[in-house]
Structure 1
Amino acid sequence: MKVRVLGCSGGIGGRDQRTTALLVDDDVLIDAGTGVGDLEFDELLRIDHVFVTHAHLDHIAMIPLLVDTVGEARSMPIVVHGSPETLRILRSHIFNWLIWPDFSSIPDRGNPFLRFQEMHIGESANIGGGRRMTALPALHTVPAVAYQVSCDTGSLVFSGDTTYSEPLIAAINDIPDLRYLLVETAFPDALHDLAIASRHLCPSLLALFLDRIKVSPEVWITHLKPSRAQITVDEIGNYRGRFQPKALYNGLEFII
């Protein structure tokens, strides 16, 4: 199983700044930020599932355009998975005929371009080929989940947007075959109060988080805010725990 980074920035601006999206093999997205826009039409056509961590725009912006672009060319609906609260937000505020058409009823409800599938914390979805997606707890300003991507050879966890979360730490520690941990750190420590208020991590909170991790994955940092990315990375580099976190970048691939 292959996971490719399409976008991992906490903002836009410049060729390398794409918001959050991961491509699992060639048919599954985790979040659908602006990084999805770099895929060619044939690549978009192969996407069968989108697993959404939460409903903030930088993580869902390309779902409406994806469905609109390929819906008529597909024989099956794209399935958008998320917590009940996240899907309620998408239905109410995006696919509401005001911001965007309700593609779960186009061309009709019996044969739609889009289907929503609820996922609860701890629930797993089989996505074919022995691959599984499991929703893990996260803590953000809106209802949010992290995801475990797993197959017979190992697991990857993507935190989505979260602050320090004991339930997420406990869930991570229950994954003995965890090979990669992709965890957000949005702000430098100078903006610690903003990180707390917006329920993101900063380097000092990340250090507390990592010090509680008992398994031994590679740790990669996502969701750096472009204006403060370098100082945040430098501060993360001062971490003296047993991990050596590195910054994600577009095009990076993980083989599980």
Structure 2
Amino acid sequence: MKLRILGCSGGIGGNLRTTSMLLDHDVLIDAGTGVGDLSLAEMCVIDHVFVTHSHLDHIASLPLLVDSVGFMRDQPLVIHATDETIAILKQHVFNWEIWPDFTEIPTLHQPLLRFERIVCGKTVEIGGRQITPLPANHVVPAVGFQIDSGKASLVFSGDTTTCDALWETVNRIRNLEYLIVETAFSNAEKELAVVSKHLCPSLLADELLKLKLHPEIYVTHLKPGEIELTMQEVSECVRGFVPRMLQNGQVFEF
């Protein structure tokens, strides 16, 4: 199993892309601006998109993806999301005002897009790959994901702030090899991190004290203009682990 990072920034500019990851060739984890770097051929074979939450930096490419390749495919693109996220996407994105409702195009019986409900803690299996929604604590309903190949697991926190339920769940994953965790703000913006339900380096350090396992840790969702500062603060605050910065194009094999 391979997971390729298409985007891992908290914003755009230059070579920065927002959150999206390609699992093997056919599954996306979130659909931020990084999806736009894929070729049409690569986009055409994506069958599933697992969405952590409805914020634009995680779904920006979703409407354009289905519009660009939907008619080249012989089956609908399936968006896996919680009931709350599906409702937001239907009401605010695929609503004929912001973007066409591709669950009705070309017909209700043969749409280009289909929604599939996911539930926190309930595993979805696709071609032997197990994807399990995990608890998260954000300003909109959100989840993280455990991706399990059978041999090893990778956990992606999604967008979250302090969340005891996440770490209680993660500590039960005995084959955990990689952890990708957000840190959206520097310590000077801790109040903003708390209000917007993200992490800053000091909050990340507190959260990692709850982690009883020893995976490789990668930091994602860094804000443009604060990347070096935030990673320096991560190295100063975190004890017992050596988190590294997640990179566009990075590939995890597990």
Q: TM-score normalised to the size of structure 1?
A: 0.98
Name 1:8's counterpart in structure 2: 8
> 1:239 Cα shift?
3.3
Secondary structure class of the residue paired with 1:96:
coil
Q: Structure 2 stretches of 5 or more lacking a match? A: none
Over residues 150-175 of structure 1, what are the superposed CA-to-partner deviations in whole Å (9 max), with x where a residue is unaligned? 11111001011000100011111110
- Partners of 1:171 and 1:142 lie apart in 2 by 20
> 1:64 Cα shift?
0.3
Name 1:148's counterpart in structure 2: 146
Over residues 15-53 of structure 1, what are the superposed CA-to-partner deviations in whole Å (9 max), with x where a residue is unaligned? 2x1000000001000000000000000000010000000
Name 1:67's counterpart in structure 2: 66
Q: Where do residues 9-158 of structure 1 align in structure 2 (5 Å cutoff)?
A: 9-15=9-15, 17-128=16-127, 130-158=128-156
Q: Structure 1 stretches of 5 or more lacking a match? A: none
- Partners of 1:108 and 1:240 lie apart in 2 by 53
Residue 244 of structure 1 aligns to which amino acid in structure 2?
V
2:204–2:238 contact (8 Å) kept in structure 1: no
| Count of aligned pairs | 254
Q: TM-score normalised to the size of structure 2?
A: 0.99
> 1:179 Cα shift?
0.4
2:179–2:218 contact (8 Å) kept in structure 1: yes
Residue 230 of structure 1 aligns to which amino acid in structure 2?
E
User: RMSD of the alignment, in Å?
Assistant: 0.7
2:76–2:114 contact (8 Å) kept in structure 1: yes
- Partners of 2:174 and 2:80 lie apart in 1 by 25
Secondary structure class of the residue paired with 2:103:
helix
Name 2:164's counterpart in structure 1: 166
Name 2:221's counterpart in structure 1: 223
Over residues 195-230 of structure 1, what are the superposed CA-to-partner deviations in whole Å (9 max), with x where a residue is unaligned? 000000000000011111011110000000012111
Over residues 122-159 of structure 1, what are the superposed CA-to-partner deviations in whole Å (9 max), with x where a residue is unaligned? 0111111x101100110000000000001111100101
| Structure 1: 4+ residue segments shifted above 4 A | none
Matched, 1:187 2:185: yes
Secondary structure class of the residue paired with 1:115:
strand
Query: What is the aligned-residue identity percentage?
Result: 55
Secondary structure class of the residue paired with 2:3:
strand
- Partners of 1:115 and 1:217 lie apart in 2 by 35
